[in-house]
Structure 1
Amino acid sequence: MMPTGKTVDAALDGLRQAIAALDNAVDMRFERERERGEMDGEVRRIHTDRSRLAQELDQAEFRANRLEEVNREVSRRLVTAMETIRAVLDR
């Protein structure tokens, strides 16, 4: 049988180890929650960037389509002007 002093010391050592393990677990949990919060923030920033980029792409596509329409109109007018000039020169 163990003397009472050693039993109490062993129990206190076990309690200290359990408290240290609990402190470790709490610290790890806080760290995971902090990292999760950082990841959530990063995901929100990525979604915001994606939305902004999608909007910018839509605007760029609209401008490209508009430029294409203007280009066709300018080309049509140049052809008309060249035909008019040829007609005048052929007279």
Structure 2
Amino acid sequence: MSQLEDGVEASSARFDRALARLDASMKNFNARVSELHRVEVDTQRLVSERAKLAGDLDKASARAKRLDDSAHDVSRRLVEAMETVRDVLAK
């Protein structure tokens, strides 16, 4: 084998190794892009769920406030009624 043939063969082997590394890099890159896309989709889903839960919490908080206000009003009215009954009974 001549020196030229040895050089061509060595160059061809280096080229094949470079192509194999490029192929491996592209597969790794594609896997990372796919993972990034999955993370972005999951993040958007979580943001959407968070917004829904925040809205639900606001509604529940408003309802709890109305119930608390109603309970306070009922309690006040009961006290007034008991005082009225005491006044009537005292006469």
Gaps of 5+ in 1: none
For the residues of structure 1 that align with 2:56 and 2:64, how far apart are their CA atoms? 12
> Structure 2 counterpart of 1:18, which letter?
A
Question: Could you say which residue in structure 1 is the equivalent of 2:66?
Answer: 66
Matching of residue 29 in structure 1 with residue 24 in structure 2? no
For the residues of structure 1 that align with 2:40 and 2:81, how far apart are their CA atoms? 61
User: Shift in Å at residue 5 of structure 1?
Assistant: 2.1
Question: Could you say which residue in structure 1 is the equivalent of 2:46?
Answer: 46
The percentage of aligned residue pairs carrying the same residue is 36
Question: Could you say which residue in structure 2 is the equivalent of 1:84?
Answer: 84
> Structure 2 counterpart of 1:87, which letter?
D
TM-score by length of 1: 0.91
For the residues of structure 2 that align with 1:86 and 1:20, how far apart are their CA atoms? 97
Gaps of 5+ in 2: none
TM-score by length of 2: 0.91
Deviating 4+ runs (over 6 angstroms): none
> CA RMSD of the aligned region, Å?
1.2
User: Shift in Å at residue 49 of structure 1?
Assistant: 1.4
> Structure 2 counterpart of 1:9, which letter?
E
Q: Bigger CA drift: 54-63 or 2-11?
A: 2-11
Q: How many residues align structurally?
A: 90
User: Shift in Å at residue 72 of structure 1?
Assistant: 1.4
> Structure 1 counterpart of 2:83, which letter?
E
User: Shift in Å at residue 85 of structure 1?
Assistant: 1.1
